[in-house]
A and B are shown apart, each in its own frame.
Chain A
Amino acid sequence: MSQAILEVRDLTRTFGGLTAVNRLNFSVSPGSVHGLIGPNGAGKTTTFNVISGFYAPTTGQVIYQGKNVSGMTTVSLARIGLIRTFQGTTLFKEFTVLDNVKIGFHGSVRSTLIAQVLGADREELAAIEKQADELIEFFGLADLRNELAANLSHGHQRALGIAVALAAQPKVLLLDEPFTGMNPEETSRMMTLVRSVRDRGVTIMLVEHDMHAIMGLCDKITVMNFGSLLTEGTPQQVRTNPKVIEAYLGSAIDAA
């Protein structure tokens, strides 16, 4: 096994008296799809928020590419390839599909501010627009290129959310429940997309309740319960683990 690209060590995050993440440990191998599952309120989103710099860890460390990145800002983490998406559809709803993706390319812009104001960045803009169109095509949104994001179907909005994240050139992509609210057709389309993103060499960490998607996609799964690590293993190991079944039955979640 190669060295982990992302690792959390004894990660803890508290909110007042509540311990949302409690001494959590896991490591993600490069090029893999790594699942993070657990009942509602287990602390999955909080874990993502800490990894991506939205919250600082209370104690413990986040190691990215062998470097301690705990407490770094979201912006600087994004610049070095650690990109997260949001639970629910978080998009620039008032923008067209194209402009959404163009904002995603923010980190690739090299022109100075003056050049941008004077319009001397035309070539770079055209290059970015071309790359944006490729991404839009890749996510099957080509026909909707000039449509406002607010007008897209739920599935298309989810795809666009990932396209925006992918535009930011991630090395590690954190996806928070990308399948929620999708119909079976959208789900299988999204599974294909996630696989092809992985095939582009992006390491994916996936929080999801849709067990079909999780089992079908993940190389390894970390299971959380009440903020702590419950177990870890391959989909096969996790599926048959009595502790996992108990945790899910105990919280009567929509796990199929």
Chain B
Amino acid sequence: MSRGKVNPWLWVAGIVLLATLIALPFGLSFSQREVAVLLVINVLLVSSYRLMTLTGEWSLGHVVIMGVGAYASALFSKRLGVPVPISMLLGAVTAGAVAALLSFPLFRMKGFYFLIGSFAAGEVIRLIWKYFTNPFGGPKGLKLIPGFPDIGPISFFEPLPYYYLCLIVVGMSLFFLYRIERSRIGLTFHAIHWQDKLAESVGVNTFSYRMLAFVLASTFAGLCGALYVHYIGTINPNRFDVEEMVFVLIWAIVGGTATFYGPILGVVVLTVINEVILRALGFDTARPMIYGFILIASVLFLPNGLESLVPKLQAWRTSRRTAPEGTPASEEKA
């Protein structure tokens, strides 16, 4: 975990990235702009998922937790008339609170059992949505959910303004997630992942930290759900089923989870492949199959994810620019 000394190239890269992100929608068609909105939301979804995995536990409930944020924000705004920006925050908080409650049964389990437990917990929540027509709308879900309010002449009904809104919210959230990981808390999360017994022996309360990671990750997942629902305007329980969770897992695995940017690479690359290539070829309905194929290919040929290409690229660049010294960038791993 190296810190300090910010590379000036990083600033340049950051500014270029920001400019690209701002300019991006102008090069896109209407439907591609809609995809870009969802992509930005998914970037936060998979990044928040990674925060959870830092303590070593992989959950299958993350998309359902996103749904908790979506349902909560939809209901707060539609039923109780809470202004949408506030209902979004309340949705995020609700998702975090549900995670806090789930921590007590779930963190009695570890590894595979946790995975199955989190899946079961998610299915129970989805059953609740399906069963209780009031207030959750049953299997058909909720419709006519209020959108984000206009600000002056800007209507967030259009994908372009909503894209920028999401960009700001997601950008701030990513910064927060990044800070968490770089802080002592992040170091402690990693420590619990690698050696929970040793961590406990020096006084780290592993349950509290696992719960903290879960609650924080879920809060941001809930925010994703809220951003999603006030854009799409309708939700139903099947939007948050296990197939969607599998997509999140594939983004994370294909991108790699050792670095902060790994899962982001995963979701961006897979979405672009899906949209640009598949849609152009006319078989975008084959998404699950294509994703499955990419997953298998990446596990076979790129077991450490797309992120593992970055240090290799850097080493290749420096070896070209300077005299060959053979120093691979080994500081990438957090």
Contact = CB atoms under 8 A, between A and B. Distances in A.
B204 A75 contact: yes
A117 B176 contact: yes
Contacts of A145: none
Interface in A76-98: 78-79, 83-86, 90-96
Contact of A121 (B184, B187, B195, B212): B184
Interface in A93-142: 93-96, 99, 102-104, 106-107, 109, 111, 113, 116-119, 121, 125
Given A94-B194, A113-B185, A116-B183, A86 B201 contact: yes
A113 B183 CA distance: 9
Contacts of A84: 201
Contacts of B185: 113, 116-117
A118 B201 CA distance: 28
B190 interface: yes
Contacts of B188: 103, 106
Interface stretch (A30-38, A163-171, A212-220): A163-171
B180 interface: yes
A96 B1 contact: yes
Given A99-B187, A102-B187, A109-B184, A91 B176 contact: no
Interface size class of chain B, counting residues whose CB lies under 8 Å from the partner chain: 20 to 34
Interface in B184-209: 184-185, 187-188, 190-191, 194-195, 197-206
Task: Report, nearest first, the 9 A-B pairs whose CB atoms are least far apart.
Answer: A78-B203, A107-B203, A168-B202, A116-B183, A74-B200, A103-B191, A75-B205, A104-B202, A106-B204
Contact of A117 (B183, B187, B199, B206): B183
B212 to A, nearest CB: 7
A146 to B, nearest CB: 8
Contacts of B203: 75, 78-79, 106-107, 168
Contacts, number: 86
A97 to B, nearest CB: 12
A93 B203 CA distance: 19
Nearest to B176: A117
Contacts of B180: 117
B179 interface: yes
Given A94-B194, A103-B188, A106-B199, 16 more contacts: A52-B201, A73-B200, A74-B201, A75-B203, A75-B204, A75-B205, A83-B201, A83-B202, A85-B201, A95-B1, A95-B194, A106-B188, A107-B202, A111-B184, A116-B183, A125-B184
Contacts of B212: 113
B183 A78 contact: no
Contacts of A86: 197-198, 201
Contact of A103 (B176, B187, B333): B187
B202 A167 contact: yes
Main secondary structure of the interface of B (DSSP, over half): helix
Contacts of B183: 116-117, 119, 121
A152 to B, nearest CB: 15
A165 B202 CA distance: 6
B190 A106 contact: no
A86 B176 CA distance: 36
**B197, B200, B201, most chain A CB atoms within 10 A:** B201
B202 A106 contact: yes
A111 B184 CA distance: 10
Given A113-B212, A116-B184, A116-B185, A92 B201 contact: no
Contacts of A78: 200-203
**A90, A92, A168, most chain B CB atoms within 10 A:** A92
22 contacts: A75-B200, A75-B204, A75-B206, A86-B197, A91-B198, A92-B190, A93-B194, A94-B194, A102-B187, A103-B199, A107-B203, A113-B212, A116-B183, A116-B184, A116-B185, A117-B185, A118-B179, A119-B179, A119-B183, A121-B183, A121-B184, A165-B202
B39 to A, nearest CB: 26
Contacts of B200: 73-75, 78
Nearest to B208: A75
Contacts of A91: 195, 198
Given A75-B204, A102-B187, A106-B188, A164 B198 contact: yes
A114 B191 CA distance: 20
Contact of A92 (B176, B184, B194, B205): B194
A40 to B, nearest CB: 21
Nearest to B199: A103
Given A92-B191, A109-B184, A103 B202 contact: yes
Contacts of B191: 92, 95, 103
Interface in A163-219: 164-165, 167-168
Contacts of B187: 95, 99, 102-103
A213 to B, nearest CB: 22
Interface string A50-83: 0010100000000000000000011100110001
Contacts of A167: 202
Contacts of A113: 185, 212
Contacts of A90: 195, 197-198
Nearest to A170: B202
Contact of B202 (A94, A95, A164): A164
